[in-house]
């Protein structure tokens, strides 16, 4: 958007200053990723830019570390574990979070603020505290070092994201639609399936994607709860940094960045679609 014609000197100065500040903040956030991605194509086993890379010599670049990643059994097993755990945790978190959001959206819900605070507390409480508590609790019920335990732990972390996104979607929901369906003889389950769920689906999917990303990138809980057979990609990267420094980690990080960008792009598209459905698109 261009500067308004009626803007004064001070407003014009702030207009450009604000954009410069936003650009610097964006650079501060993107710079570590921008440095890491080219290093994943380094032909040498170093974490620094070689002379060939700086001179853009083709011999300085290679897909060596990507090939090593896809040919490594341990890395492929960690991918399988991460995908399996993330999908299962997302399904659990989405179901529980959607049900909780539907209940919290009702105005006559008693202690709604207190319950909301408790449900989103995993986002506020430091992960190290949650991880230690889950470890002692799961150890007492024989769920530590099992896929079930890791899935439930990740579902607990992802549920708050689903609650927040679905609750935000329900803010603009027209409840007269469900009352009209009930007056026409529809059962609560049928009204939810045919009316409520399609309208809040963008929020549900957005929350599910956030839950998936949270589970896929989580490491602290995994360090406490998971065993050898439940090694995920972040756990494998952590072990690789401690035991064997290899640019393969940079290749894996680049792949994860691409996945995160793709998922966040989907979230943004769903948000815009939700705004259009609710008539909130700006003219």
Print the SS3 string covering 233-248. HHHHHHHHHHHCCCCH
Of 90-104, 140-154, 162-176, the range with the lowest mean pLDDT is 162-176
* Structural domain includes residue 131: yes
> pLDDT category, 283, cuts 50, 70, 90?
very low
Q: Specify which of 135-139, 202-206, 225-229 reaches the highest per-range mean pLDDT.
A: 135-139
* Structural domain includes residue 58: no
Q: Which residue range(s) make up the domain with 91?
A: 73-277
**Which CATH number covers residue 212?**
1.10.3720.10
Q: Specify which of 18-27, 29-38, 175-184 reaches the highest per-range mean pLDDT.
A: 18-27
Domain count, the chain: 1
pLDDT of residue 278: 58
Give Cα separations from 195 to 113, 123, 190, 200, 207 (angstroms): 27, 30, 8, 9, 19
> pLDDT category, 84, cuts 50, 70, 90?
very high
Q: Degrees (nearest 5) of the Cα angle 75, 77, 79?
A: 70
Give this prediction's pTM: 0.78
> pLDDT category, 90, cuts 50, 70, 90?
very high
CA distance 46 to 8: 53
> pLDDT category, 33, cuts 50, 70, 90?
confident
* Structural domain includes residue 1: no
């Amino acid at each position: 958007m261009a500067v308004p014609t009626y803007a004064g000197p001070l407003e014009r100065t702030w207009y450009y200053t604000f954009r410069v500040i936003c650009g610097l903040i964006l650079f501060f956030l993107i710079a570590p990723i921008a440095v890491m991605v080219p290093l994943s194509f380094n032909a040498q086993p170093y974490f620094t830019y070689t002379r060939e890379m700086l001179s853009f010599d083709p011999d300085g670049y290679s897909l060596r570390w990507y090939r090593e990643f896809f040919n490594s059994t341990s890395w492929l097993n960690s991918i399988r574990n991460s995908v399996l755990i993330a999908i299962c945790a997302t399904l659990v978190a989405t179901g529980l979070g959607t049900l909780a959001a539907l209940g919290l959206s009702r105005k006559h819900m008693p202690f709604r603020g207190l319950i909301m605070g408790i449900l989103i507390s995993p986002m506020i409480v430091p992960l190290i505290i949650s991880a230690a508590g889950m470890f002692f609790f799961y150890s007492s019920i024989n769920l530590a070092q099992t896929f079930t335990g890791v899935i439930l732990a990740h579902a607990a972390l992802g549920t708050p994201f689903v609650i927040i996104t679905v609750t935000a979607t329900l803010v603009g929901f027209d409840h007269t639609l469900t009352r009209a369906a009930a007056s026409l003889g529809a059962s609560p389950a049928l009204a939810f399936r045919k009316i409520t769920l399609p309208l809040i689906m963008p929020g549900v999917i957005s929350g599910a994607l956030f839950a998936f990303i949270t589970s896929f990138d989580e490491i602290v809980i995994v360090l406490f709860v998971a065993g050898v057979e439940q090694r995920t990609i972040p756990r494998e990267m952590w072990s690789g940094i401690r035991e064997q420094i290899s640019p393969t980690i940079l290749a894996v990080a680049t792949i994860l960045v691409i996945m995160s960008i793709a998922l966040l792009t989907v979230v943004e598209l769903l948000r815009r679609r939700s705004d259009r459905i609710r008539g909130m698109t700006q003219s």
